[in-house]
Structure 1
Amino acid sequence: MECGGGILSSFFNTRRRRKESERHEAFLENGSKVLEEFITSWNGRCSIPIRNFSAQELIRSTNNYDPRRVVDEDAYYALYVGSFRGERPILVKKYRSLGLDNFSGGAHLKAGAVRDIVTTSQMSCHKNVLKLIGCCLESEYPFLVYEDVGSTERLSHSLFKSEGRSLLSLKSRVRIASEIAYAFVYLHTAFSTPIIHRNLKSDIVIIDRCGVAKLLDFSISIVIPPGESQGKDMVISSRSLVEPQYLQTGILTEKTDVYDFGMFLVELLTGQRIADIQLRLQYGCFEDYVHKGGLNEIVDARTQAGSGGGVEQEQQLQAFVSLAMQCLQKEREDRPEMIDVAKELKRIQRLVLVHLPSAQTINPL
């Protein structure tokens, strides 16, 4: 028995040492990549106001990543609710490879996780960004640790899956659009060079327990080089439609985000995913569909199915539609700046608050 016990003890000690060695190597590799990203993106002139969590701390906090603690997930990560040291509620974003290796996407996933840490840490002071409090570098892919905001329902759940849920009011939709617009203004103007998000969609906007919209993901954001007004990168997006100029040239500007924001507004207006709208295209491209009346037809149908509305509601809806159309202009120079988009949404928001009853809703088709 002693011999057997000695063999088992040796086996588990060896296994433990191997795991510790793997975690140490991952920490060194991921830590160097995070530091390099900070230096490259901001020339070292930035704060790193987050702490490093050990792998064991997060394992204990999430009960070894108990599946019952998953509150949100997509193809590349799961979001777990946890309790750090039994006192502080936290959210842990655990990236997962799903079989990817370094030659088929694993390296891009790791780079995205690193970029997510770096950009989110700089954006966390904004009220419409989920606050990052730390990260864990001791795994193949870095994990992100956020403050717990009490609710992590995606905007898309309320917007596209209305069964059994109250529909979002027009007032709520305009407020959400305004909040996200100002987060993008901050992204474009608060730093020495603009950051381009290039992947805005309702799936990365969560609504906290107070109804405040918060951005969750910055994994494919890109920092414009100092002294430049544009950047260039391979075309990456999880949207069904990408800005034409970016798709053709790989060149991004702040107007790339304005275009994405226009599609975000279309989804808010219609309660439908862009991909679903594409299935009913009457014209050669999405912009033509929007500018030749397609969007108005959808909004008009939804308004007629509503609870009466009135002149004020029609004015507000048309202002919302007009703003979406401006953001989706084919030529970049014809689109407004994000700050002007945000100001117009504030104006529309004031109209809604003055004229629209809180129970008013836009019903689905």
Structure 2
Amino acid sequence: MGCNCVSDIDECKRSNPCNQTCHNTIGGYNCSCRKGYELIYEENGKGYRTVPTGCHHIPGNQLIKTSIIALCISLSLLILLLGGSWIYWGLKRRKNLKLKEKFFQQNGGLLLKKQVSNHESSVATKIFTAEELKKATNNYDKSTVLGQGGYGTVYKGVLSDNTIVAIKKSKIGDQSQIEQFINEVIVLTQINHRNVVKLFGCCLETEVPLLVYEFITNGTLYDHIHDKGRSSLLSWEKRLKITIEIAEALSYLHSATSLPIIHRDVKTANILLNDNYTAKVADFGASRLVPLNQTQLTTLVQGTWGYLDPEYFQTSNLTDKSDVYSFGVVMAELLTGKKVLSFDRPEIDRNLATSFVSAIKEDCLLQILEVHVVNEGNIEQLKEVANLAKRCLELRGEDRPTMKEVATELERLKKQPLENIDVYAKKTELLNATRHSFDIDTGTGGSTSTIAEHDSMKDQLPKLVDDGR
């Protein structure tokens, strides 16, 4: 019986086909190249066939050419990759610049430039980048929110130099808020006063504009008056100090800046306090610069109900006396601890300004004053301050004092010893009575006895004052 088996032939011994290291295999053999290349030869029906297995022997000069080609291809790919990346980032940067320019114009940057060029600025305003403020607020994390309202949101931020700031972010897509934002920047560049919140700078290259203020640590005056835990800590001395500081700030705005400024939204929520209870007037979004040689502006009525000047509301004529009225409401709020509007109170008492004036006229002031601010030594001082507030709340602006007069009067009351307030009041009453008597008698020709009485009363005035000292 025949056998079809084919015995294996050791090609390595037979012909030394590799000229290198040869390894015999059943039906073939393989060669080991110097650098790890291998060739496999397999037997077929007619002889042997060479089959590359992924490497083969390459002569030295051909290997160098192949390496150069591979290097050139690699460098070309690298250059292409780097070039593509450079073009991509260039286009992206250009797009971002265009977007920032769009936001700058959209957020009133051109208007800001125009306004700044039209007014002399006494305060340097820094332009912050979007990245700086994003980092300062931890990407506007909710935990950094200080407050929210119709204007937008205020965040607490920490700048790279560890300065703590308050960042005011306007509402998205509200053009009226953008105009108020630019207006606030313009107004604040005119102001440099210790009782007005300081503007550090702004950012216009974001979707909504941002204002960067000094951070005031102790919240709003509104919170201190109406929070039961805080109101008891707000003594009359602190309240009077705060009242004077607000008055001085408003007096400065009305008469000491290059152009008079009407705040237009004076209220306790817009008065900030630091740890020493120093008052800082804030939020100038609704404020207006008054052109020289003008005493009033005709504007759309804007303000907060309860604080809003009724004359301004009826006529749309804005004057500095509108701020005086609002300040009078703030004084009433500090004296009584009551909210300016409350539907929880009887209808006749819902408006604080109205009920406050009525209480003074009916000699019921002590019944509406905050209990813990009243003591035996300051009753007359409280009455004097309340009467000053009443004058600020006159319905006609021309009957109200100026803020400069209010600030001067408050400062006098603060310096006046409490026990002498009553003596001063008597002195004023005596002067008024004397003037009244003198005017009547001289109007009818005058009489010697009346004039003598007038001179006698004048002589007594120094003695009255001396006795009160």
TM superposition score normalised by structure 1? 0.82
Name which structure has the greater RCO, CA cutoff 8 Å, separation 6+.
Answer: 1
The aligned runs of 1:136-155 (5 Å cut-off) are 136-149=203-216, 151-155=217-221
The aligned runs of 1:304-323 (5 Å cut-off) are 305-306=371-372, 309-310=375-376, 312-323=377-388
Shift of 1:252: 1.0
The aligned runs of 1:56-135 (5 Å cut-off) are 56-97=131-172, 101=173, 106-123=174-191, 125-135=192-202
Alignment equivalent of 1:242, drawn from 294, 298, 308: 308
Closer, same or farther: CA 248–305 of 1 in aligned 2, 3 Å: closer
Q: What are the ranges of 5 or more consecutive residues in structure 1 without an aligned counterpart?
A: 1-6, 356-365
Shift of 1:353: 7.9
Closer, same or farther: CA 277–129 of 1 in aligned 2, 3 Å: farther
Partner Cα distance (1:85, 1:297) in 2:
57
SS of equivalent residue, structure 2 residue 223 = helix
Runs of at least 4 residues of structure 1 off by over 6 A?
A: 7-16, 283-286, 294-298, 352-355
Shift of 1:147: 2.4
Shift of 1:288: 4.9
Partner Cα distance (1:154, 1:148) in 2:
12
Partner Cα distance (1:226, 1:256) in 2:
18
Partner Cα distance (2:347, 2:317) in 1:
27
SS of equivalent residue, structure 1 residue 122 = coil
Alignment equivalent of 2:279, drawn from 210, 213, 222: 213
Contact 1:263 1:328 in 2 (8 A): yes
SS of equivalent residue, structure 2 residue 415 = helix
Amino acid at match of 1:38: V
Amino acid at match of 1:93: K
- Equivalent residue for 1:347? 412
- Equivalent residue for 1:362? none
Q: Deviations over 1:117-148 (max 9, x none)?
A: 1112222x200111111111112432111223
SS of equivalent residue, structure 2 residue 292 = coil
- Equivalent residue for 1:46? 121
TM superposition score normalised by structure 2? 0.65
SS of equivalent residue, structure 1 residue 134 = strand
Q: What are the ranges of 5 or more consecutive residues in structure 2 without an aligned counterpart?
A: 1-83, 421-469
Amino acid at match of 1:33: L
Partner Cα distance (1:107, 1:322) in 2:
42
Contact 1:270 1:298 in 2 (8 A): no
- Equivalent residue for 1:227? 293
Aligned residues: 339
Partner Cα distance (1:80, 1:236) in 2:
25
Shift of 1:178: 0.5
Alignment equivalent of 1:266, drawn from 317, 332, 336: 332
Q: Deviations over 1:203-229 (max 9, x none)?
A: 111111222110121001111122111
Partner Cα distance (1:33, 1:315) in 2:
51
Partner Cα distance (1:241, 1:140) in 2:
33
Partner Cα distance (2:419, 2:143) in 1:
43
The answer to whether 1:181 aligns with 2:247 is yes
Contact 1:289 1:295 in 2 (8 A): no
Shift of 1:65: 0.9
Contact 2:246 2:280 in 1 (8 A): yes
Mean CA deviation greater in 207-216 or 289-298: 289-298
Indicate the structure (1 or 2) with the bigger Cα radius of gyration. 2
Partner Cα distance (1:77, 1:173) in 2:
29
Shift of 1:284: 11
Amino acid at match of 2:135: R
Q: Deviations over 1:282-321 (max 9, x none)?
A: 38987653333268777513559448711x3110110111
Partner Cα distance (1:246, 1:121) in 2:
26
Amino acid at match of 1:35: K
The percent of aligned pairs where both chains have the same amino acid is: 30
- Equivalent residue for 1:361? none
- Equivalent residue for 2:48? none
The answer to whether 1:293 aligns with 2:359 is yes
Alignment equivalent of 2:115, drawn from 29, 34, 37: 37
Partner Cα distance (2:87, 2:227) in 1:
54
Closer, same or farther: CA 206–198 of 1 in aligned 2, 3 Å: same
Shift of 1:34: 1.3
Closer, same or farther: CA 59–336 of 1 in aligned 2, 3 Å: same
**C-alpha RMSD over aligned residues:** 3.3
